[in-house]
């Protein structure tokens, strides 16, 4: 079987560990996995350095798979469901400015769809520069952008890599749904990573939402690990 990608990008921390664990259960060769920072700005800086390092010198038509967790923007999609992105839009701040839609590489997306079939749905991702923690805002954004899930890196990765002729596909697992709030952890984000002390404080301030977030994240991480194993197994 041809590998679905030449490299995997996944958010640093638990998401990265889950993907690595999933690949460790595969008996055949697997692509290298790179832990990326969270958020568009930090990711753009990372990708500039990553590309300069020449990871694709041996590939004439390199293919990158972006993996990780995401949040649902629709009542149709629940925690633990996996989505292959058809395209990605960016949450623009200006009300009169139209969001630009970028499309994932169709051939690469079809490889994922054919391999995973009913394990995934195909949808549109919305990338936000900030954590969307309010259930009402998630529902509102989903309707405004006609998007199914939300993340913090997809659009930036797609924009930077596609402009260089690198084929990009995206596969994510939902870890929080549209029906409940999650804790406001905005203050815990710094330079593309979550800081331990502000994270703990944010979780303690909202214990019910925190319990729900932790439970959803653990479930999402288990599915992410299992779907990684399945995707890269013969």
DSSP secondary structure, 166-198, as one string: -EEEEEEEEEE-SSS-----GGGEETTEE-HHH
Per-residue pLDDT of the chain (234 residues), as tens digits, is 567 899 999 999 999 999 999 999 999 999 999 999 998 899 999 999 998 887 776 667 899 999 999 999 999 999 999 999 999 999 876 555 567 899 999 999 999 999 999 999 999 999 998 888 899 999 999 999 999 999 999 999 999 999 999 999 999 999 999 999 888 877 767 676 777 776 778 778 888 888 888 899 999 999 999 999 999 997
Tell me the DSSP string of 127-166. Answer: E-SS----HHHHHHHHHHHT-SEEESSHHHHHHHHHTTT-
Closest CA relative to residue 66, chosen from 193, 169, 155: 169
Q: Is residue 30 part of a domain?
A: yes
Q: Which two tokens stand for residue 53?
A: 């390092």
Q: Is residue 1 part of a domain?
A: no
Q: What pLDDT, on a 0 to 100 scale, did the predictor assign at position 57?
A: 67
Counted residue by residue, the chain has a size of: 234
Q: Is residue 222 part of a domain?
A: yes
Q: Is residue 210 part of a domain?
A: yes
Q: Is residue 42 part of a domain?
A: yes
Give 117's DSSP letter: G
Q: What pLDDT, on a 0 to 100 scale, did the predictor assign at position 95?
A: 58
d(CA 112, CA 135): 30
Query: pTM here?
Result: 0.91
Domain extent, residue 191, equals: 7-232
d(CA 215, CA 143): 26
Q: Is residue 71 part of a domain?
A: yes
**3 state DSSP class of 85:** strand
Query: What CATH number has the domain bearing residue 144?
Result: 3.40.50.1580
**Total domains, the chain:** 1
Is residue 207 classed exposed, middle or buried when 0-12, 13-18 and 19+ CB atoms within 10 A define those classes?
exposed
Q: Which two tokens stand for residue 132?
A: 């969307």
Cα 161 to Cα 25, 47, 149, 169, 184: the distances in Å are: 29, 8, 21, 11, 31
Q: What pLDDT, on a 0 to 100 scale, did the predictor assign at position 33?
A: 96
d(CA 56, CA 66): 16
Q: What pLDDT, on a 0 to 100 scale, did the predictor assign at position 206?
A: 81
Tens digits of residue pLDDT in 180-214 = 988 887 776 767 677 777 677 877 888 888 888 88
Q: Is residue 2 part of a domain?
A: no
């Amino acid at each position: 079987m041809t590998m679905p990608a030449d490299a995997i990008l996944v958010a640093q921390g638990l998401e990265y560990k889950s993907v690595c664990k999933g690949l460790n259960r595969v008996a055949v060769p697997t692509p290298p996995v790179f832990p990326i920072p969270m958020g568009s700005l930090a990711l753009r800086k990372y990708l500039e350095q990553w590309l300069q390092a020449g990871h694709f010198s041996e590939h004439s038509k390199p293919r990158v798979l972006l993996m990780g967790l995401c949040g649902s923007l629709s009542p149709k999609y629940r925690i633990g469901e996996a989505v292959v992105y058809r395209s990605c839009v960016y949450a623009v701040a200006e009300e009169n400015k139209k969001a630009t839609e970028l499309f994932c590489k169709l051939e690469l997306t079809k490889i994922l769809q054919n391999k995973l079939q009913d394990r995934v749905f195909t949808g549109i991702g919305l990338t936000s520069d900030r954590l969307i923690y309010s259930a009402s805002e998630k529902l509102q954004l989903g309707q405004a952008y006609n998007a199914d899930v939300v993340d913090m890196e997809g659009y930036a990765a797609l924009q930077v890599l596609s402009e260089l002729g690198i084929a990009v596909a995206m596969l994510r697992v939902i870890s929080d749904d549209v029906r409940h709030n999650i804790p406001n952890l905005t203050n815990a984000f710094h330079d593309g990573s979550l800081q331990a002390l502000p994270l703990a404080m944010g979780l303690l301030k909202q214990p019910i939402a925190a319990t729900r977030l932790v439970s959803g994240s653990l479930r999402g991480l288990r599915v992410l690990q299992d779907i990684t194993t399945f995707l890269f197994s013969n």
